[in-house]
Amino acid sequence: MATTPTELSWAQVHAFRLQRHHLTRRAPKKDLAKVVGEIGGAQAQLMSAAERQIATWVDCKVADVREALWQERSLVKTWLMRGTLHLAA
């Protein structure tokens, strides 16, 4: 059974992408690692930039990102895309 393609306006596409990247509403702190995984990681050549980037997506503080990385181990700092450091779930 064939399906017909759905037509979307550019405004709908932009709204979808903003929502999927948690830029219309920040995710709850309990979903910190899940959100980092959904986004595909946070560029972390500078840790302060990664911490702020994650805090843009998630309703959390810098200390929560550090705790997820160093205590909970729900995030890991590793080399990913283009050989640069990232925080990943």
Domain edges within the chain? 26-88
What pLDDT was estimated at residue 1? 66
DSSP 8-state symbol, 44: -
**CA–CA–CA angle 47, 85, 41 (5° rounding):** 85
- Is the model's pLDDT at 3 over the cut of 80? no
CA quadruple 70, 74, 78, 81: dihedral, nearest 10: -150
Mean pLDDT of the chain: 93
* CA–CA dist 53, 42 (Å, integer): 7
Contact between 85 and 51 (Cβ < 8 Å) = no
What pLDDT was estimated at residue 72? 97
Bridge partners for 85 per DSSP: 79
pLDDT single digits (tens) 51-73: 999 999 999 999 999 999 999 99
Q: Which residues of 45-62 are buried (b: 16+ CB within 10 A; e: fewer)?
A: eebeebbebbbebbebee
